Amino acid sequence: MSYIGLNPAQLGLLIPQDPLTGLLRVDLMLVFDLLSSVTWQQSGQVARHPIQSGREGPSDAILEEPERVSITASFVDKPLSTGLIPAPTPIVQPDRCLMQAQALSDLKARRQLLTAVVPGRVFADRAISTLDVTPSPDGGEVEVQLTLDHVRVVSLGFTGAIADAQSKALGQQVVEFGYG
């Protein structure tokens, strides 16, 4: 958990999803110690050629792309704040920030799907597309910048094709299968 006395959802967290079941693995979640910025971008393309007016309107001429989320956050070895009156910090964990950054790098290397929880939003079915790790010179803090792209998860099933009259007349012996 984070060193700051806030709800982890206020700081931002990443929860890995189990590859087989899609269940969230809260036991493996990463909580950021400081969330500097979160931006999400909704982009798309609009056709430049003339389109037909009518009831359908221009909806076919507008192609939406999945949201892209960019997060800048920090991991630290010691509490960022101990309250109004500075006090000694006995809970310093050496190399904690480096281990957290390595755990984030491992998630990217495993190509694991994640759910990101940031203030005001939840982004499910995301994968880390870019990751920048910048350790501080003293090694007590690591700043990470990551971009999460949406992964469209679908389930495929086989649907048997029914042989039609033409294929029977032509003597086709093979029945094709399509995706349903």
Report CA torsion sign: 125, 148, 70, 102.
Answer: positive
Tell me if 177 is assigned to some domain. no
Cβ contact 148:123 at 8 Å? yes
Tell me if 173 is assigned to some domain. no
Tell me if 166 is assigned to some domain. no
Tell me if 165 is assigned to some domain. no
Domain count, the chain: 1
**pLDDT for 123:** 92
Closest CA to 113 of 145, 147, 151: 151
First and final CA of the chain: distance in angstroms? 44
Tell me if 170 is assigned to some domain. no
Both tokens of residue 97? 């920030």
**pLDDT for 39:** 93
Expressed as residue numbers, the domain containing 141 is 8-155
79 Cβ contact partners less than 8 Å away, ≥ 6 residues apart:
3, 4, 89, 91
Tell me if 162 is assigned to some domain. no
Each residue's pLDDT, cut to its tens digit, for the chain (180 residues) gives 444 455 555 678 899 998 888 889 888 889 888 888 999 998 888 877 767 676 666 666 778 888 899 999 999 887 655 556 655 555 667 788 899 999 999 999 999 999 999 988 899 999 999 999 999 888 788 999 999 999 987 776 655 556 666 666 666 555 555 554
Query: What average pLDDT does the structure give for the chain?
Result: 79
CATH code, 48: 2.40.30
Tell me if 161 is assigned to some domain. no
Tell me if 91 is assigned to some domain. yes
